[in-house]
Amino acid sequence: MSIYAGLDVSDKTTHVCVVDGEGAVLRREVLASDPDVIAKWLGRYCPNLVRVVLETGPLSAFLYHGMVARDVPIECICARHAKGVLSARVNKSDVHDAEGIAQMARTGWFKRIHMKASATHFDRAAVRIRAQLIMARTAMLNQLRGLLKLFGLRLGSTRAPGKRTERLDALYAQRPDLEALFAR
C-alpha cells in the first residue's frame, strides 16, 4: 500500500497527515518542527512512504535538507499554488491544511520548487550580513555628518578610517565642547 504525507509547518509545531493511495486518512499527528523528530515518526508509522510534501516557508529549507539527509522522500511545493488548492476546502485550519497537502502529495497535483543547497544558503547569509553592516556603517557616518553640520562643521567625504579620525580631530580642535558629546 502506497502512503503519502503532508506537512503543515509552523514555527514550533508541524501538523502531519498521512493518507493511503485511495485518499483515506490513516494517521494525523502534531510534532515538533524538527527534521529528526518528523523523520523518526514517519519511519515508525509510514513503512511504504512514497512522498512527503511541505510548502515553501521560513523553515522549509531547514526541514527539507534535514529530511533529505535522513533519506525521507520529500518535495517542497510552491506555497502560492498550495494556497489556491487549500482555499477551495471548507474548513481552514492546520489539521485540514495538512490533509490537503497530503492529498496533493497523493495526486501529484502541485508545483515542485527547486531547493538550493545548504552551502548556497550559507553564502547568501554571509553576503546579506555584510551588506547590512555596510548599510549600518554608512547610516552612522551620514548621521555624524548631519550632526556636525548643526554646529557648522563639515566632515567631508573621508572614506579611510585614519583620514576620518584626522579630520574629526581637526574639527574637535575648532569646537572642543563637541568631542565629549560625539565620543559617548
* pLDDT tens, position by position, 55-88: 999 999 999 999 999 999 999 998 888 887 787 7
Share of the chain above pLDDT 70, in %: 99
Domain count of the fold of the chain: 2
**Widest pairwise Cα distance in the chain:** 85
**Which residue segment(s) compose the domain that 18 sits in?**
3-107
Q: 79-130: per-residue pLDDT in tens?
A: 888 887 787 777 778 888 999 999 999 998 888 889 988 889 899 999 999 9
Pair (73, 102) in one structural domain: yes
Q: What are phi and psi of 5, to 5 degrees?
A: -130, 145
Decide: 37 and 31 in contact? Cβ < 8 Å.
yes
Within-domain flag for 81 = yes
Pair (96, 150) in one structural domain: no
Rg (CA), the chain: 27
CATH number at residue 60: 3.30.420.40
Pair (24, 93) in one structural domain: yes
Pair (173, 102) in one structural domain: no
Pair (34, 87) in one structural domain: yes
CA 167/CA 169 separation, integer angstroms:
5
